[in-house]
């Protein structure tokens, strides 16, 4: 009888020991798998970022590829270490971006031969609350050689007021042919002066999303923005992606609008 009890006790001890051992082993396996996935996730994310950096470094050469402006964009494979980053680059000839207070949206006009562009702002109800939609200062830089000139227009965007124009100068502004049907509530057209270089849009009172496009039939703006999406997958199946929106022109600070630089001295 005693030997049977001892056997049962030994079996119970063995079962408990096995349970504890299996639990510890299982936890160690889970921790190891989690650690491996975290490490591979970081490596995949780094590879995706590396793909973005590689494409940005040669964006000028890629910009001339017609596939970049196609509906699906251009796919580029970039080797980053032992990872393969799959990058998609898609260009747009319409400028559309959120412009924060104190910042400026800059639209490239250097090769634009059209006569007018249309500007939409104050998108949806979220940008039409409180004191109303943003007011805009729009500046067009133009001229064949330096020193260059700049025309400015100011548009009030307060709720209940029309798109009132102050200090009108330059090639002139025109009402939009029809109200915006793309979710924006404010709209104006700007005529181009001779030899346009760039258009700059600065919001006041509130940040706002700005959309700028050509309204001259058959003539588009130059490429304005690039959407770059990069993804990389690790050997354990972890995929990480990075998305970047890049403007074709570098954003000059707002102070540039009040001090144009020439080859000689500063013209204020």
* Residue 92, pLDDT above cutoff 50: yes
64-76: per-residue pLDDT in tens?
Answer: 788 998 989 999 9
Residues 6+ apart with CB under 8 A from 79: 85
120-138: per-residue pLDDT in tens?
Answer: 998 877 776 666 678 889 9
Query: What's the CATH architecture for 94-222?
Result: Sandwich (2.60)
Per domain, the residue ranges of the chain are 94-222
Report the run of H or E that residue 46 belongs to, with start and end: helix 2-57
Report the run of H or E that residue 240 belongs to, with start and end: strand 239-247
At residue 166, the pLDDT reads 42
Phi, psi dihedral angles at 130 (to 5 degrees):
65, -120
208-266: per-residue pLDDT in tens?
Answer: 999 999 999 999 999 999 999 999 988 878 888 999 988 887 777 777 776 654 445 55
**Could you tell me if 123 and 208 are in contact, meaning their C-beta atoms sit under 8 angstroms apart?**
yes
């Amino acid at each position: 009888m005693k030997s049977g009890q001892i056997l049962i006790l030994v079996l119970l001890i063995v079962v408990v020991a096995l349970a504890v051992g299996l639990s510890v082993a299982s936890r160690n396996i889970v921790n190891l798998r989690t650690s491996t996935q975290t490490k591979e996730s970081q490596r995949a994310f780094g590879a995706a970022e590396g793909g973005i950096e590689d494409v940005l470094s040669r964006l000028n050469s890629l910009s001339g590829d017609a596939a970049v402006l196609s509906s699906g964009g251009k796919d580029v494979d970039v080797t980053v270490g032992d990872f393969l980053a799959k990058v998609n680059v898609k260009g747009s000839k319409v400028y559309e971006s959120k412009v924060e207070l104190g910042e400026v949206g800059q639209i490239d006009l250097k090769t634009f031969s059209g006569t007018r562009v249309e500007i939409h702002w104050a998108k949806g109800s979220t940008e039409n609350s409180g004191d109303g939609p943003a007011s805009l200062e729009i500046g067009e830089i133009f001229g064949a050689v330096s020193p260059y000139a700049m025309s400015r227009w100011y548009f009030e965007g307060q709720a209940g007021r029309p798109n009132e124009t102050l200090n009108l100068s330059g090639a002139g502004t025109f009402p939009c042919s029809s109200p915006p049907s793309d979710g924006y509530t404010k709209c104006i057209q700007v005529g181009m002066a001779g030899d346009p270089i760039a258009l700059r849009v600065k919001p006041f009172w509130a940040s706002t999303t700005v959309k700028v496009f050509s309204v001259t039939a058959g003539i588009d703006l130059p490429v304005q923005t690039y959407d770059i999406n990069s993804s990389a997958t690790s050997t354990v199946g972890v995929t990480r992606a990075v998305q970047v929106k890049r403007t074709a022109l570098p954003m000059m600070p707002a102070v540039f609008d009040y001090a144009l630089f020439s080859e000689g001295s500063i013209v204020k």
